Structure 1
Amino acid sequence: MPIAFTHVPAKTHPADAAIPFFYDFAETATKLGLIEDSGFQKIVVDDSAGLLTNMDLAAQVLHRTASLEVVLTHWAGVIEPTVAARQLASIDRESGGRLSLRMISEPLNDDDAETRPVGHGVIWQRIDEYLVLLKRLWSNDRPFDHEGAFYSIKGGYIERKGPHGADLVIRMGGQSGTALKVAGRHADVFELAPGSLDEVGQLIERVRGAAAEHGRAGKLRFALPVRIHKGASVADHKAVDLSGPPAQAALSLLAYAGLGIDEFMIVGVDTPREIATAGRETLALLRNSLARRESEVFQPAAYAPRAGLETRIAG
């Protein structure tokens, strides 16, 4: 499967670094076209204004682009599952199926696991129940009742499902055992934490182990966040924090692709020049390198002796 590239916007307004990427949508629309033309397949929508703003921005991005998939950052506890299921299905339907849902843990995150273990567990239990209900609402053909630890639903049903139904792509992350357990049950794409090749490889195996408990080990895809920045390389920097010439960056990413990573989430390319350069150089070099690697793998088999056929002829 070809490597996918996802653009992760940062707060890089030239006049004020605190202004988010989507502040001026006329300016953003120009960047969106460039992002789409530069070889990115997806873009993350994660605005500081919150969940409802993210939904509105996602709809606008999908309306103004032809092929970009929107990775909508979302979390449980803000709106009821029935409302969320209806709105998300509507956005996905109007975009022709270009929406995926990126579930994060709010207000806690994995860094709080040791200091607030009870709160951390509760957050992930709520996410689990929330996703179960979303999927049920996206697939049921008749109303249902639900009484759970976090949500109570009477006659839960939405008439107009999205094109994916319950198969809308769910993206999750985390490193604690609790987070991996929930991700193993629900995630289609797992967003890895930055780390060395060994660290990332170990996390991949942990996630696959969690997914295997639900018969889903072979269904997971893996995404890795990568920061591209200017300046010289630092000796002790993480391999996913890339600097230096495009060929060097592409070579570093090639090693991660060898672990089974399907997607790179590119951070740090937000100006038009940075976006164009990343697409023309780093992304293109990596695609070409992967294509060459695949051709080298398959080429010997293509010219291998047809031993079985020769045996039948000889017999």
Structure 2
Amino acid sequence: MPIEFTHVPGKTHPADASFFYDFVETATKLSLIEDAGFQKIVVDDPAGLLTNMDLAAQALDRTSSLVVVLTHWAGVIEPTVAARQLAALDAKSGGRLSLRMLSEPLNDDDAETRPIGHTVVWQRIDEYLVLLKRLWSNDRPFDHEGAFYSIKSGYVPRKGPHGAELTIRMGGQSGTALKVAGRHADVFELTPGSFDEIRQLMERVRSAAAEHGRASKVRFALPVRIRSEDNAAASCQKAADIAGPPAQIALSLLPYAALGIHEFMIVGVDRPREIATAGRETIALLRNSLARREADVPQPGAFASRVTGEARAPS
């Protein structure tokens, strides 16, 4: 499966405004990101879910091929409302939307009826996703009475092109999080760590997914922060931290691709020059290297052992 690259907007400097602050400037950057070879862009603005949905709509309007990865939380809006809005976005974009579900503490109103805890948060996410999928696929209204949501005559008349198959992205490390991800996640966003820690987490995710017959259906994404002298102090999301010239960065990512990671979420590449360089050199070099090695090593498993022996994964 070809490696995909996702752009994760950050800040060029901690004092800078968010990536989406000035959408005229953002539109120019989106065009550069698309031309550079990125397939996806993450929308995760500090203003929260409703702003994310608006920014996602604008990003979809201003691009032709980029998949917009919309960061979402359960509990902010009701499932029926979210299902309609997300289906409309998916339809408007021609199927270029995916949903990135993050965990978030329950609010004070929830605390009055049940204790706030990690397990409860993930139980709510599980019920929320079950309802979204049901709303995206049902052909008639239905009622639901659950631990967190009550729905009467729930129905979404205008389905998106994906229907209930809209790509769901999740992450986490606890057994509870992995249990929910194993049931719902199409893409699992890995937590950066050592090479062995990442490999072990992938094995745990596959094991959780196997309980639902989905072990072979989960793809893996790894956040990678590309650091240079110009952006060494940049404020970015936590990610595997790689520095050096583009060729060295591409070589450093080869062992992860051999491990079975299908997607690199690139953080720290926000200036136009950085975006262009990442596309022209790092992304192109990595893709070309993978294509050559796959052509030379047709036997399953040989590619992984050969790459791991030639390139050392960054710590």
Structure-to-structure mapping, 1:16-35, within 5 angstroms = 17-35=15-33
Q: What is the TM-score with the length of structure 2 in the denominator?
A: 0.88
One-letter amino acid of the structure 2 residue matched with residue 128 of structure 1: D
Structure-to-structure mapping, 1:35-114, within 5 angstroms = 35-107=33-105
Cα deviation, residue 186, structure 1? 0.2
* Residues 77-118 of structure 1 deviation map (CA, whole Å, 9 limit, x = unaligned): 10000000000000000000000000000138xxxxxxxx96
Match of 1:264?
Answer: 264
Equivalent-residue separation in structure 1 for 2:207 and 2:117 (angstroms): 24
User: Following superposition, which runs of at least 4 residues in structure 1 exceed 6 angstroms of deviation?
Assistant: none
* Residues 284-315 of structure 1 deviation map (CA, whole Å, 9 limit, x = unaligned): 1100110011111139xxxxxxxxxxxxxxxx
Match of 2:303?
Answer: none
Equivalent-residue separation in structure 2 for 1:28 and 1:85 (angstroms): 27
Cα deviation, residue 240, structure 1? 2.6
Structure-to-structure mapping, 1:120-199, within 5 angstroms = 120-199=118-197
Q: Quick one: higher RCO (CA 8 Å, sep 6+), 1 or 2?
A: 2
| Partner SS, residue 219 of structure 1 | coil
Cα deviation, residue 130, structure 1? 0.1
Equivalent-residue separation in structure 2 for 1:118 and 1:181 (angstroms): 19
Equivalent-residue separation in structure 1 for 2:135 and 2:15 (angstroms): 40
| Partner SS, residue 207 of structure 1 | helix
Match of 2:245?
Answer: 245
Match of 1:292?
Answer: 292
1:227 aligns with 2:225: yes
Q: What is the TM-score with the length of structure 1 in the denominator?
A: 0.88
Match of 1:111?
Answer: none
* Residues 37-88 of structure 1 deviation map (CA, whole Å, 9 limit, x = unaligned): 0000000000011101100100110010000000000000100000000000
CA change 1:245–1:80 in 2 (3 A) is: same
One-letter amino acid of the structure 2 residue matched with residue 2 of structure 1: P
Q: Which has the larger radius of gyration?
A: 1
One-letter amino acid of the structure 2 residue matched with residue 165 of structure 1: G
Equivalent-residue separation in structure 2 for 1:264 and 1:17 (angstroms): 26
* Residues 150-198 of structure 1 deviation map (CA, whole Å, 9 limit, x = unaligned): 0000000010000000000000000000000000000000000001111
Equivalent-residue separation in structure 1 for 2:15 and 2:64 (angstroms): 29
State whether residues 231 and 244 of structure 1, in contact with CA within 8 Å, keep that contact through their aligned partners in structure 2: no
State the aligned residue count: 286
Match of 1:307?
Answer: none
| Partner SS, residue 17 of structure 1 | coil
One-letter amino acid of the structure 1 residue matched with residue 193 of structure 2: G
Equivalent-residue separation in structure 2 for 1:239 and 1:177 (angstroms): 21
Equivalent-residue separation in structure 2 for 1:239 and 1:95 (angstroms): 29
Equivalent-residue separation in structure 2 for 1:41 and 1:264 (angstroms): 10
Equivalent-residue separation in structure 2 for 1:269 and 1:293 (angstroms): 27
1:2 aligns with 2:2: yes
Q: Which runs of 5+ in 1 are unaligned?
A: 109-116, 300-315
Match of 2:282?
Answer: 282
| Partner SS, residue 117 of structure 2 | helix
